[in-house]
Chains A and B, each alone.
Chain A
């Protein structure tokens, strides 16, 4: 109940109506764009599941690749093993290095020229097309060792993951409030200890999910593996000896085949890969939630 002659708190009517209308319109447009963005995703998932489920079975996941492309049968066993092995090796190389790099950038480098250079290069590296990474490892490693191996592929994937991990770590660490660092230093803690016991636990959730997103991205890459890992029809569990294969490469070669059974296998491989990446993502979520809960506790 405004006092007479008091401040006018109600907006004049016409303006208020215009606001209401624009509010409804804007909300509608936002909802619509969201739905449009969902269409390809939903379509993709439904279609891949539909096509892939035709061939998928336990033996599809474990059997060797068929000798003859145009006949049905055979499995993706070597490719599943290859994808897990190569991506795993890439993660083992890229994640520790990337996290340490991110720690250097945010905790030690700051705005020093070296740090700025590394940050710039990491940014540029994120933009390098993945096929160029494949060529780089091909000329650097494969041509020198005269052998295509899973390890060469892992190196190429690691090159792709490294800048992502560096940048997310750098960003996550920069979100840790400076007051926490000061609180630790004020108790006589040294820098390493402060980073280990205060800064990293605080940023752990973000760093872990960033790293797992990088893993998921690498698992789906085809181009860097094309020249680096070669091809096998039987499972090769060695990273360093003999050629290997991966799901992404199998999708590529089978999908470009003119034979229907091969194309079906490509769908099966695609579904398998999506499920693997999906599992990684769920893992990332769980780990993030675990760290978040531990901090809130």
Chain B
């Protein structure tokens, strides 16, 4: 865990020359060019390339531990699902992965979160730079009250993409989010004029437009109807070849349908009578759902499946 040895991909503040970052080594999807990740050409049996390594992670809100002792490896080009009952800390852990907790007053992240071998919480790491590579889709669709075009173009503009490039980037992102055909004639309409499912795909397009390496999804379908949910699940399957996806879901069927690996979290009452989230089991999805190693996992999944 020695991130600052110079050879690592840099996440430190690069405000002075944002584009330069992309010429650096290591990350598959950071550049201006079309992201043809070399990893795609490799056989499926390749060794799992780790994107995230979480070691003894603990998160506190205003001094109270919300989740502790999380050890987890998340691999590239896989869909990793976090499941568990409410209050088990799955969203909390997800938000550690792109330093979203920086914005929550009183939140404190302890332990190690490595991203491609580099500590995300290192003193020189720039959180904004982290979030450009690790995108996020939220539980509630949250398009900006701007036009559809401007919603998608927001991220690329941040990265200093030229105005002339934008329409191409926007079309690509909307196409990848399976929304292009529905909105191509009304790009000047407000993003808020879309239906809930469309808004969520717009938010996915917005996240994809910055060419992230990872997409974090925090219960992206919980506000959507089954048809919209199915569309987003199909979409995740397609995006998996290009992006690493981590999804938090309440819906176990969704985890079972979409993910390659599943982490089951639960909340336990500690000796001081406080509820603390813990990672119980983390395995290949099929194994976790058919032959769980832990009795608590089995209890949870069978309790729901009946």
Interface residues of A (CB under 8 A from B): 110-111, 177, 179-190, 193, 197-198, 201-202, 295-297
Contacts and interface: CB of A to CB of B under 8 A. Distances in A.
Contact of B105 (A111, A182, A197): A111
Contact of B210 (A181, A188, A296, A297): A188
B190 A187 contact: no
Contacts of B158: 187-189, 193
Contact of A187 (B131, B140, B143, B188): B131
Given A179-B140, A187-B158, A190-B128, A297 B207 contact: no
A122 B147 CA distance: 36
Given A187-B135, A188-B130, 8 more contacts: A111-B105, A179-B138, A180-B142, A183-B138, A183-B206, A188-B155, A188-B158, A190-B128
A183 B142 contact: yes
Nearest to A193: B158
B195 interface: no
Given A179-B140, A197-B154, A186 B145 contact: no
A187 B190 CA distance: 19
B295 interface: no
B189 interface: yes
Contact of B159 (A179, A188, A202, A295): A188
Contact of B190 (A111, A188, A198, A295): A295
B103 interface: yes
A181 B144 CA distance: 9
B98 interface: yes
B150 to A, nearest CB: 9
B219 interface: no
B154 A184 contact: yes
B207 A186 contact: yes
Given A179-B138, A193-B158, A297-B147, A185 B190 contact: no
Given A187-B207, A193-B158, A296 B190 contact: yes
Contacts of A185: 100, 103, 128, 131
A189 to B, nearest CB: 5
Contacts of A197: 154
